[in-house]
Amino acid sequence: MENERREWWLFGIMAVLLVAVVLVAWSDVPDLAPPSVTYQSGTTTTTTAYTGTGASGMISLNTATAEELMQLDGIGETLAKRILDYRDEHGPFSSVDELVNVQGIGEKRLEEWRQYLTV
């Protein structure tokens, strides 16, 4: 009888330890967050979470940085600079269609990007 009681105590202790191990392991599981991307431009280093688009799911032509614009396939440093220069020279974009006024962007490219852009 005493051996049976001892076995149940050991079983209970093992069960409690198992639950404790599972709870500790569960708390160490990292949150599912997108990886961060670090951009370096001159003396500035910026780290942001990469989502492929802005926080709203769209890239705003009137507020986007060069790094944000370069997230679009086909926009490199030169074209991003042209977009920012156009915005600085002509003021905010009134529509996404106005992007074709930037040298190097035609209707075909604009249609590829339209779903990701807003003003």
Q: What is the pLDDT of residues 72-81, one digit of tens each?
A: 888 889 999 9
CA angle 16, 19, 25 (to 5 degrees): 140
pLDDT (0 to 100) of residue 24 = 74
Q: Is the pTM of this model over 0.85?
A: no
**Has residue 57 got a pLDDT over 90?**
no
Nearest CA to 109 among 65, 79, 68, 78? Answer: 79
Q: What is the radius of gyration, based on Cα positions, of the chain?
A: 27
Q: What is the pLDDT of residues 64-105, one digit of tens each?
A: 899 988 888 888 899 999 999 999 999 998 988 999 999 988
Q: What is the residue type of 72?
A: L
